[in-house]
Chain A
Amino acid sequence: MLKNITNLGDAALYCDFGDKVNIETNSVVIKYFNQIRSLRIDGILNLTPSYNKLIISFDLNLTSSEKLIKIIKNVNTNEKLNIDKKIIEIPICLKDEFSLDLDRLVANLKLNKSAIFKTFLSKNYFCYMTGFIAGMPFLGDISNDLRFRRLDTPRVKVPKGSVGVTEQFCNIYSFESPGGWNIIGRTPFKIFDRDNENKPSLINPGDYVKFYEIDSNEYSKLND
């Protein structure tokens, strides 16, 4: 549930849904996100849902923290919104040159290479949020056996399409970017399409992702 609302600077609100990071909490965040979006409240510029927070930025010319807090507190999220539970299938190539941090994982987890892949591919992952860079999905939860901390020194450049794991989450780097997640493979799919303005992100909060393995040939074929 929505626990507290405060201001984040003079032109944004910080809605706190508690400390727990799980699908249940996040589903409430996404519900608020969808509901507030559909209400088209005057002055709201942006809504950023994350694991357990919702940031609402607004135009200080049109509204204020005080006014908006009152409105948000009274938002009714009981109404059923039609969110279809979508499963999006994403191909992943696990060849050595794409699995940049596999050795690190093998050395630190109690699993060998093929067990790591098998465990990773066995689950569907919930999309908690997208962002940091355009279209990047934050997915979870990965098996307890695969959980490991970030790289001690983040990479300056993680190649576009890289699939990473850390702690209870996995992600897909939609662009080349700095990053510290353990990279286990790469997808040839375009995760973010700037030319499809109505639906630029392949994966959106609330979707599920199922990874399936492809070999190098299929990777090259799909990666045009």
Chain B
Amino acid sequence: MTDTFFNFLRPGINTTIQDIGRDNLYHIGIPFSGAMDKRNFLIANKLVDNNLKDACLEFAYQGPLLEFFGNNIVCAITGNVSFKIIREDKSEEEGNCYESFNLKKGDKIDILSTNKSTYGYLSIKGGIKAEKNFNSYSINTKAEVGPNEGKKFDTNQRIYLFDNLNKFKKKKINYINSKIEFIRVLKGTNFNYFSELSQNNFVKDEYKVSKLTDRMGMRLEGPKIKNIVNTNIKSEGLVKGVIQVPADGYPIIMLSDHGTIGGYPKIGVVISADYDKLTQLTPGSKIKFKYISLKEAENLFKLYNIETENILNQVK
């Protein structure tokens, strides 16, 4: 028996293992984590016939260069990703997202970039051989939990895989990541801390995603939001999607690896249905918000679920 694994010839900028995340740990300071763009994560698993919750590799911007050791595996990449497959005989193939491909000993995948988007996913049939930590394969580099000692991957590290013994049969789907016009939000619990003008400007003006954006949070640049009550509140629990406004007036959106407690007033919360698309916005992207009601948000989430279901059913 030989081992089946990927060796990281180049780790990429932020490559981690993610699944659907972990719950019931906020009270000790551990957030959900999990794949940032859940829909693309699910499609990746579906393309290789995995359980939809199996662990995938998530990468951001420049992805990893991986060399395969073993006999045969089946993979798929989702997102807006440029990549190539370098065969053992050095021939190169342009990679196509949203269709499965197989790799033999000595083949490499070179994940070049996530074009005009942030996150991409690499699924491997059978999942990744790793140890769960707190009931999840998700790596949270901030709390140092998850496989690989809770750290992102480095050069010459390995992830172990399952050899695929069945005959390879390509699966694919025609899917395009659509752009979103507005990020829809519900008013936050401190909405009345902000001046009426700022409440209005928040949805009238455009914001820009700043460079200081990662799996923990997304900082925004744009019109300052004026606080007329108090720039601090008593520290309290946060959830992903919460938009906090610190004293400097520039909003910060909490993302999947966020600190579980925060002391800045909340102007809004991004609705669950728009979260995937929010996380894909790259630094420099324009972002426009829109207030909607709780009922609308709940209906949009139902739609999002139906849409996801339909997409998964189209994988053939």
- Interface residues of A, Cβ cutoff 8 Å to B: 6-12, 14, 21, 33, 45-55, 57, 60-61, 64-65, 129-136, 138, 174-175, 192, 194, 197, 200-201, 204-205
Quick check: which of B1-9, B44-52, B195-203, B255-263 contacts chain A, the rest being far away? B255-263
| A–B pairs, 5, beta carbons within 8 Å | A45-B24, A52-B236, A129-B235, A136-B29, A175-B142
Q: Kindly count the residue-residue contacts between A and B in the assembled complex, taking CB atoms under 8 Å apart.
A: 139
The winner among B24, B27, B186 for most chain A CB atoms within 10 A is B27
Please indicate the chain A residues that have their CB under 8 angstroms from the CB of B186 in the complex.
Answer: 7, 9-10
As a 0/1 sequence over residues 224 to 249 of chain B, the CB contacts with chain A under 8 angstroms (1 = contact) are 00000000001111110110000000
B189 at the interface (CB under 8 A from A): yes
Please indicate the chain A residues that have their CB under 8 angstroms from the CB of B144 in the complex.
Answer: 134, 175, 194
Please indicate the chain B residues that have their CB under 8 angstroms from the CB of A45 in the complex.
Answer: 23-24, 32
Question: Interface range on chain B: under 10, 10 to 19, 20 to 34, or 35 or more?
Answer: 35 or more
Known A7-B186, A10-B271, A131-B26; contact A57-B298, beta-carbon cutoff 8 A: no
Please indicate the chain A residues that have their CB under 8 angstroms from the CB of B271 in the complex.
Answer: 9-10
The winner among A55, A61, A192 for most chain B CB atoms within 10 A is A55
Report the minimum CB–CB distance from B132 to chain A (whole Å).
Answer: 9
Report the minimum CB–CB distance from B152 to chain A (whole Å).
Answer: 16
Please indicate the chain A residues that have their CB under 8 angstroms from the CB of B142 in the complex.
Answer: 133, 175
Known A53-B236, A175-B143, A194-B145; contact A135-B29, beta-carbon cutoff 8 A: yes
- In whole angstroms, how far apart are the Cα atoms of A10 and B271 in the complex? 6
Known A9-B239, A10-B297; contact A48-B260, beta-carbon cutoff 8 A: yes
Please indicate the chain A residues that have their CB under 8 angstroms from the CB of B234 in the complex.
Answer: 21, 50-53
As a 0/1 sequence over residues 118 to 141 of chain B, the CB contacts with chain A under 8 angstroms (1 = contact) are 000000000000000111000000
Please indicate the chain A residues that have their CB under 8 angstroms from the CB of B134 in the complex.
Answer: 194, 197, 200
Known A131-B27, A132-B262; contact A55-B143, beta-carbon cutoff 8 A: no
Nearest neighbor of B269 in chain A, beta-carbon distance: A9
A57→B235 contact, CB < 8 A? no
Selected from B27, B30, B235, the residue in CB contact (under 8 A) with A47 is B27
Please indicate the chain B residues that have their CB under 8 angstroms from the CB of A7 in the complex.
Answer: 186, 294
Nearest neighbor of A203 in chain B, beta-carbon distance: B28
A12→B239 contact, CB < 8 A? yes
Please indicate the chain B residues that have their CB under 8 angstroms from the CB of A12 in the complex.
Answer: 239, 269
Please indicate the chain A residues that have their CB under 8 angstroms from the CB of B145 in the complex.
Answer: 134, 194
Please indicate the chain B residues that have their CB under 8 angstroms from the CB of A174 in the complex.
Answer: 29
Selected from A14, A65, A130, A134, the residue in CB contact (under 8 A) with B294 is A65
- In whole angstroms, how far apart are the Cα atoms of A69 and B228 in the complex? 30
Q: Which of B30-84 contact A (CB under 8 A)?
A: 30, 32
Please indicate the chain B residues that have their CB under 8 angstroms from the CB of A200 in the complex.
Answer: 28, 134
Please indicate the chain B residues that have their CB under 8 angstroms from the CB of A55 in the complex.
Answer: 26, 236-239
Report the minimum CB–CB distance from B234 to chain A (whole Å).
Answer: 5
B305 at the interface (CB under 8 A from A): yes
Selected from A54, A57, A64, A131, the residue in CB contact (under 8 A) with B261 is A131
A60→B235 contact, CB < 8 A? no
B301→A46 contact, CB < 8 A? no
Please indicate the chain B residues that have their CB under 8 angstroms from the CB of A129 in the complex.
Answer: 27, 235, 261
B13 at the interface (CB under 8 A from A): no
- In whole angstroms, how far apart are the Cα atoms of A129 and B237 in the complex? 10
Please indicate the chain B residues that have their CB under 8 angstroms from the CB of A138 in the complex.
Answer: 235, 261
Nearest neighbor of A204 in chain B, beta-carbon distance: B28
B28→A54 contact, CB < 8 A? no
Known A11-B272, A49-B27; contact A133-B143, beta-carbon cutoff 8 A: yes
Besides the known contacts A10-B294, A138-B261, A200-B28, 6 further A-B residue pairs in the complex with CB atoms under 8 A apart: A7-B294, A9-B239, A46-B24, A48-B27, A48-B236, A132-B260
Known A10-B298, A48-B261, A131-B261; contact A53-B27, beta-carbon cutoff 8 A: no
Please indicate the chain B residues that have their CB under 8 angstroms from the CB of A204 in the complex.
Answer: 28
- In whole angstroms, how far apart are the Cα atoms of A48 and B239 in the complex? 9
B270 at the interface (CB under 8 A from A): yes
As a 0/1 sequence over residues 138 to 179 of chain B, the CB contacts with chain A under 8 angstroms (1 = contact) are 000011110000100000000000000000000000000000
Please indicate the chain B residues that have their CB under 8 angstroms from the CB of A175 in the complex.
Answer: 142-144
